């Protein structure tokens, strides 16, 4: 699952770079913002979930959660969940699965339900 987590993080970074490509007219400032974002995407493994974090300036925010157990009654291992708060995922519906490679994300978090 480590390779899939790293792929997800690379996808998040790529989406941010794409988003920033047309923002503002100061290339040096834009590049500093991209470098800062890319350097500050991390994750923490807990008992049930992997919490993906992004840091913007002084603020650390939860990007989303990944189910990290095989015995969850509602979700499969690798399911992407939006954050309900800093310490808990929204357990209404998965937003894709990193093990399947079937997910749609933005740099701001997993896609909303459609």
pTM as predicted: 0.91
pLDDT by residue (tens digit) across 11-55?
A: 999 999 999 987 777 888 889 989 999 999 999 999 999 999 999
Whether residue 65 is predicted with pLDDT greater than 70 in this model: the reply is: yes
pLDDT by residue (tens digit) across 72-107?
A: 999 999 999 999 999 999 999 999 999 999 899 999
User: For residues 1 and 74, what is the distance between their CA atoms, to the nearest angstrom?
Assistant: 19
Report the residue count for the chain: 114
Whether residue 114 is predicted with pLDDT greater than 80 in this model: the reply is: no
Nearby residues of 82 by Cβ (< 8 Å), 6 or more positions away: 64, 65, 89, 90, 95, 109, 110, 112
């Amino acid at each position: 699952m480590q390779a899939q987590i790293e792929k997800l993080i690379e996808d998040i970074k790529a989406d941010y770079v794409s988003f920033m490509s047309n923002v503002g007219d100061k290339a040096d400032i834009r590049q500093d913002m991209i470098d800062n974002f890319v350097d500050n995407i991390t994750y923490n493994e807990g008992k049930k979930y992997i919490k993906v974090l992004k840091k913007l300036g002084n603020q650390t925010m939860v990007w989303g959660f990944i189910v990290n157990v095989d015995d969850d009654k509602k979700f499969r291992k690798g399911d992407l969940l939006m954050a309900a708060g800093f310490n808990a995922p929204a357990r209404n519906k998965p937003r894709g699965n990193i093990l399947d490679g079937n997910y749609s994300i933005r740099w701001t978090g997993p896609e909303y339900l459609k």
